[in-house]
Amino acid sequence: MRNQLYKKEWGIFMSTMVFVNFPVSDVKRSTEFYEKLGFTKNEAFSNETSSSMVWDENFWIMLLSHDFYRQFINGKEIADAKTTSGTLVAFSLESADAVKKFAETAKQNGGNYYKVEMGIPEDQMFGLEVQDPDGNMLEPTWMSI
């Protein structure tokens, strides 16, 4: 099972679900891209304007067409994520090799990645900056905690 994050509240561990919403220019292309990265499409919450992509029971990415996404941003403009950064979504993977495989899969399917050197040994922490075809940023990371 993939990593889970828990919040301790009143002595009880509770899991929190995270839904990241990305505006995408082509829902079908983006759905295929995320499926190749290992996400699973949840048909119950998907249609022609959005795809609900599930990593695990707590982490989902919602791929929204620009028209659908605009409904949630109250007149704001959608940033061009290829030239403007609005968010960087970091999440854990089980190993440095899994991070590398995730990034290579992205690159082979229309995305890209790069490494930021932070001076931390790879056997302690390893992450890469991964872009989807629309420029949305993911940061798969492994840490020896």
Q: pTM (2 decimals)?
A: 0.86
Q: Is the pLDDT of residue 16 over 90?
A: no
pLDDT of residue 105: 98
- Quick: pLDDT tens for 22-75: 999 999 999 999 999 999 999 999 999 999 999 999 999 999 999 999 999 999
- 63: in domain: yes
Range of the domain at 126: 17-72+86-143
More confident residue, 103 or 86: 103
Decide if 114 contacts 99 (C-beta within 8 A): no
pLDDT of residue 14: 59
DSSP characters for 27-49? HHHHHHHHHHHT-EE-GGG-BTT
What is the CATH number for 22?
A: 3.10.180.10
CA dist 23 and 28 (Å) reads 13
Q: What is the mean pLDDT of residues 11-27?
A: 84
Number of domains in the chain: 1
- 10: in domain: no
User: What would the two tokens of residue 30 be?
Assistant: 């983006």
